[in-house]
Amino acid sequence: MTAADRRTLFRTFTEEIASTLAALDRFAEFQEEASGGPACTNWRQDTKERLADLRAAVNRMDDADFGVCRECGEDIPPRRLLAVPGTTLCVACKSEQEHALAIP
């Protein structure tokens, strides 16, 4: 992974963290005004999980193995890291892992 890729990922992750925190604040205000039901609870939980993944990715960015597949050692494409910040596997290795876990 290039230094430019790392900078772009860092900037994108930190921007998403800020916007996610703002969305959670707006949600809290909304929740005080009205009952959002189960869908809102699911959204909030999913959003908090995404936030935790983003923060963990930012914290790992200085590690030498950030963005490197733990199975094959190849670089994980930045687009995959944007989609799944917590990933430690490239698409091929993740597919292989899921295939191995599949019930026949």
- State the total domains in the chain: 1
Q: What is the pLDDT along the chain (104 residues), one digit of tens a residue?
A: 888 999 999 999 999 999 999 998 888 767 655 565 566 678 888 999 999 999 999 999 999 999 999 999 999 999 999 999 989 999 999 999 998 887 66
For 13-25, b/e burial (b = at least 16 CB within 10 A) is: beebbeebeeeee
Residue type, 67: G
Question: How many angstroms separate the CA atoms of 58 and 55, rounded?
Answer: 5
CATH of the domain at 53: 1.20.120.910
Residues found in the chain: 104
Domain residues for 10?
A: 3-101
